[in-house]
Structure 1
Amino acid sequence: MTPSPATTAARLTAPRLSTGAVLALASGALILTLAMGIRQTFGLFMGPVCLALDIGREQFGLAMAVQNILWGAAQPFAGALADRFGALKVLLAGTFAYTGGLVLMASSGTYAMFQTGAGLLVGLGLSSVSFAVVLGAIGRAVPPQRRSAAFGLASAGGSFGQFAMAPVGQAMIAALGWSQAFLVMAGFALAMAPLALLLVRASSAGANAEATPESFRPTSSPLAEGGLQAALREASRHPGFWYLNAGFFVCGFQVVFIAVHLPSYLADLGLTPDLAAMALALIGFFNIIGTWGCGLLGGHYSKKRLLFALYAVRALTIAVFLAVPKTETTVLAFAAAIGLLWLGTVPLTSGLVGQIFGVRYLSTLFGLVFFSHQVGSFLGVWLGGVVYTWTGSYDAIWLASIVLGVAAAILHLPIREQALRPALA
């Protein structure tokens, strides 16, 4: 792929980030580090929680599925509230819900308590402290030429969280037990509150410093003047918006199934919990590289073609993993490869939404696309447990992940990447 002359010119004239934009980017990345890192450890808790509560993998998977569907269903509303009233109140509400959910999970004596904490409270909390709200705040603080790279850096924070928290989570389970480990996680989650305050203040400063007629004009276009309803109508009539929804559905199906069920899949093969934790950490480490890299590439090359390549290679990686013998080497190699492809979809997809529709209602529109991701997450993690209960194997879900990956790759090719109006970019 060769960048166009317009892209090259934009790259050469891209302004430097203001201090406010840099602080917004750093604090947003740290929020995503905690929000995404903590939840990525939940698969490590499956064995001890199922044993303590006398439940099966299907029930544990259902709690994670409810978490993901509520996260996705509430995400557009959280994004709309952030667009309408500002991000701070939304981020703080999400922090307290997330923390409360972890505390309830730690004190669970019944499956109903665990489901309420893990499914309801953590799911609602995640809707307010994850990508749509955080990237929306960052997107307003940076100029368009830097936006894709900024989204990649911030999204890489979630990857670093998985890298850092997976071994920590496994060590805490081994040393303290699953209940006390959840309480420590709750303490980590509470740290998102001061970070939210820093993000919002820095975002406002960054937006004021960067705002120019070319970079940020929230009321200069017909779409912006028409308000949120006009933005929603415009998006609903754009075929690319629905292709992005379909692709992100597949992303959710694949990554949440792997994140939650991979430790149990490896245990069934006689491999150790420490290897599972190492694999999740390795996914997180390489996801830092992959997410940041996709963000950088998205600033220079066609985002839809990058998404095509990402989904196609992800399907191939899963197919190869199924075909080879499962040893420590092949598991870690798979973790590294899938990590490079893990959340690179986020800066590319959110960047494409902003590129086509503008950033004025980015939190809302990306929140809607993210809901599709979470519908896929619900089905991937829940069906993983159901299929295992019925068949004693995860093979059918692995195969479905391959087929869906190929379909997602193809669906991105017809997307028209041009901004609906130049002022929206």
Structure 2
Amino acid sequence: MFFFKSSPYYVVFGGAVTVFITLGLNHSNGLFLLPITTELNSGRELFSLAGALGILFSGVGAPFFGGLSDKYGAGRTIFILGMLQILSWIWVGNINSEFDLFGSRILMGIGSSGMLGIALSITGKSINSENKSIFLGIIMASGSFGQFIMVPIINYFINNVGWVYSTFIASLLVTPLILMSFIISRNSKNFNIEENNQTIYQSLHEAISNRSYKLLTTGFFVCGFHVTFVSTHLPAFLSDNNLNENLAGFALALIGLFNIIGTLSFGYLGSKLSKKNLLSTLYSLRSLLFISFIIAPKNEFTVLVFSAVLGILWLSTVPLTNGIITDIFGHKYSSMLFGLTLMSHHLGSFLGSWLGGRMFDIYGSYNSVWWLCVILGFGSALVHFPIKSQPRIIRLKESGQLT
């Protein structure tokens, strides 16, 4: 049998496929904004708020499911989350009311909560090498590749068979997660975890008392705001500017394609250079890009250039952020600790999704939110500068708690 002999690289494979499916489908949600709001005869704020609540529940669930993964195993946790994702997409296809819209999006958020953190954590635990940052970059690149593949597929089906059938196709695309849960469970028996006698509660207390961890978590809020505002509202923004209806799906796919380059590149750079300085650079470049896009004419060329450059900066923050957490606290409870940081990311996502729709319904334009993206990006760049990635064992020695 192909998976008879246990190998850590099967864990990486399982984690990569998990992120490929979860992030790929999550980034297709914005394609459903116009058809669902038309079906329900509602404003964009309603869809945005439902999506934002789903993201919020995903953020709240991330440290919880991360803790379950650390304690009971990643395979079991991914199995549960995968089943919830399948049910959520089936529910989306049966939306008849506002209750269905909110309920399905909340269930979808819970189903995706912690998936990224779990995949990154099991990769970090299974790979014992100096190139760990590169493997984390591969995991994130798989999510970007998922966006590149999944978004055009869903966009094609929405335009050709309708949005309802497209949700059932999405539910079928989630089913490989069940197989991945068994592959990960079978091949994750002998993780290389450093000696750490902390309980999960002691680890949590240490993290929330650490200034660098709090700064990192604050900065990650901005990443969530940027990514979710763009992925949720870019399709409608392009439609408002009378651009081709297929351009939105292609633009989101292009972001995913170029983020493969970005995550692999910054994953490699993270093994060579200061991760916190790379993060400051990333957030600054995002703000400069947003300024350029705001003042540029809106046509197919500028949209494609914007999408390609944003793709390089898109989720390249994730392997660097996760890498700083494991540098500081080690791997034992890394799923939970990254999940807690991811909760901040999802709080930003909540605001990016909801505020985009709210501002549009009030002013008939997204301009104020684009400028807010600029301000937040520069702010996050400043927040990362004071971070210190001092490993836990060194901190204990310096404080006299370890000799």
Report the Cα offset of residue 144 of structure 1: 4.8
2:10 partner amino acid: L
Aligned to 2:401: none
Instruction: Provide the secondary structure at the position in 2 that maps to 1:186.
Output: helix
Q: For the Cα contact (< 8 Å) 1:282–1:335, is it kept in 2?
A: yes
Task: Say if 2:40 is the partner of 1:68.
Answer: no
2:228 partner amino acid: V
Aligned to 1:161: 146
Q: For the Cα contact (< 8 Å) 1:253–1:380, is it kept in 2?
A: yes
Counterpart CA distance in 2 for 1:422 and 1:191 is 42
Aligned to 1:103: 90
Aligned to 1:8: none
Task: Say if 2:315 is the partner of 1:337.
Answer: no
Task: Say if 2:361 is the partner of 1:389.
Answer: yes
2:141 partner amino acid: A
Q: For the Cα contact (< 8 Å) 1:20–1:204, is it kept in 2?
A: no
| Aligned pairs (5 A) from 1:7-406 | 20-118=7-105, 120-128=106-114, 130-205=115-190, 207=191, 211=192, 216-217=193-194, 220=195, 224-406=196-378
Residue among 365, 387, 391 paired with 1:415:
387
Counterpart CA distance in 1 for 2:126 and 2:172 is 29
Counterpart CA distance in 1 for 2:187 and 2:120 is 13
Counterpart CA distance in 2 for 1:372 and 1:102 is 25
Counterpart CA distance in 1 for 2:152 and 2:19 is 18
Counterpart CA distance in 2 for 1:144 and 1:241 is 24
Instruction: Provide the secondary structure at the position in 2 that maps to 1:270.
Output: coil
Report the Cα offset of residue 136 of structure 1: 1.5
Counterpart CA distance in 2 for 1:19 and 1:277 is 39
Instruction: Provide the secondary structure at the position in 2 that maps to 1:200.
Output: helix
Report the Cα offset of residue 19 of structure 1: 7.1
Instruction: Provide the secondary structure at the position in 1 that maps to 2:198.
Output: helix
Q: For the Cα contact (< 8 Å) 2:75–2:183, is it kept in 1?
A: no
Q: For the Cα contact (< 8 Å) 1:308–1:408, is it kept in 2?
A: yes
Report the Cα offset of residue 256 of structure 1: 0.3
Q: For the Cα contact (< 8 Å) 2:6–2:186, is it kept in 1?
A: no
Report the Cα offset of residue 423 of structure 1: 10
Q: For the Cα contact (< 8 Å) 1:250–1:376, is it kept in 2?
A: yes
2:382 partner amino acid: I
Counterpart CA distance in 2 for 1:97 and 1:66 is 16
Deviations 1:201-228 (A, max 9, x none): 22335x2xxx3xxxx32xx2xxx21211
Q: Which runs of 4+ in 1 moved over 4 A?
A: none
Q: For the Cα contact (< 8 Å) 2:229–2:349, is it kept in 1?
A: yes
Counterpart CA distance in 1 for 2:189 and 2:174 is 24
Instruction: Provide the secondary structure at the position in 1 that maps to 2:332.
Output: coil
Counterpart CA distance in 2 for 1:281 and 1:88 is 29
Q: For the Cα contact (< 8 Å) 2:76–2:185, is it kept in 1?
A: no
Counterpart CA distance in 2 for 1:196 and 1:156 is 20
Deviations 1:263-282 (A, max 9, x none): 00010000122011110000
Q: Which ranges of structure 2 fall in alignment gaps of 5 or more residues? A: 397-403
Counterpart CA distance in 2 for 1:202 and 1:127 is 22
2:369 partner amino acid: I
Deviations 1:359-410 (A, max 9, x none): 0000010011000000000001100000000000001110000000000001
Q: For the Cα contact (< 8 Å) 1:141–1:204, is it kept in 2?
A: no
Count of paired positions: 392
Normalising by structure 2, we get a TM-score of 0.95
Counterpart CA distance in 1 for 2:149 and 2:239 is 22
RMSD: 1.4
1:336 partner amino acid: A
Are the structure 2 counterparts of residues 423 and 197 from structure 1 closer, same or farther at C-alpha, using a change threshold of 3 Å? farther
Q: For the Cα contact (< 8 Å) 2:48–2:356, is it kept in 1?
A: yes
Aligned to 2:399: none
